[in-house]
Amino acid sequence: MTIPSLPLNDGHTIPQLGLGTSPLDDEETADAIVAAAEAGYRHIDSATRYGNETGVGEGIRRTGIPREEFFVTTKLDGEFQGEDRAIAGLAAALQRMEFEYVDLLLIHWPKPWEDQYVSTWQTFEHLKAEGLTRSIGVSNFKPAHLDRLAAETDTVPAVNQVQLNPYVLRLGEREYHESHGIVTESYSPLGAGAAKLLREPVLSAIGERYGKSPAQVVIRWHLQSGLVAIPRSGSVERIAQNADVFDFELDAADLAQIADLGGETGNDSDHTGH
């Protein structure tokens, strides 16, 4: 199985399905990556805040698969905003992973009240030019924050990683991203909390027709919607199941029914963070 990729605005590509690693620790992360690699994943999402970057590097080495075949993301949070703090932040992350570069570096939060995300982005541009990250992007940014980056810097983010699922559709943000060449990446793609989403009868009914679980139906919805999805799990079985979504296709009625779960509020909900 080969997971499809989407083009980024900088000439690179991003696999459409990845492994989310929050809140796994280093050992759990390494084990999950080995299981994910066996299931066909090559995209791993982490963050300094998660405290598992050492496990990311260890897990990838344990697979025996060359580093360059993986797409690795990490994120730097508020501690590394402003005054070129991201330089040391990425250096420390690379040291923990024992990598020379990451494929995607994200600003974890805009934190607009601190007014440092523009200068942080300029530091990210420098890190990209130095080859320490191949692509740069953001997480939890609103269109207003992206507009300011466009006005004051030279690089459009390759990705905006936001909480997105059939309950939280982000239609306005997705439209903005598409019109500006930004890939939308979904964290918590199966819903947050106690997985209320996966108990929706409509998902069970759709899944029964295809012989798939509600989670597989939702992941397929993300993929057919042109999104990148990074479901998180430490379970070998669920990791494999989440990747077993390329032998069926939802029809237009299925897609509409799933999107209807968002209702009126699904389009405008605030980010809850990750």
Report the catalytic residues: 50
- Closest listed residue to residue 40, CA positions, set 247, 251, 253: 247
> Three-state SS string across 175-231, please?
HHHHHCCCEEEEECCCCCCCCHHHHCHHHHHHHHHHCCCHHHHHHHHHHHCCCEECC
β-bridge pairing 13-15 and 5-7: antiparallel
Residues facing 229 on adjacent strands: 17, 186
Q: Please give the Cα distance from 86 to 119 (Å, whole number).
A: 10
Backbone CA torsion sign across 212, 213, 218, 223 = negative
Q: Which amino acid would we find at residue 118?
A: V
d(CA 67, CA 57): 9
Omega within 30 of 0 (cis) for the link into 23 = yes
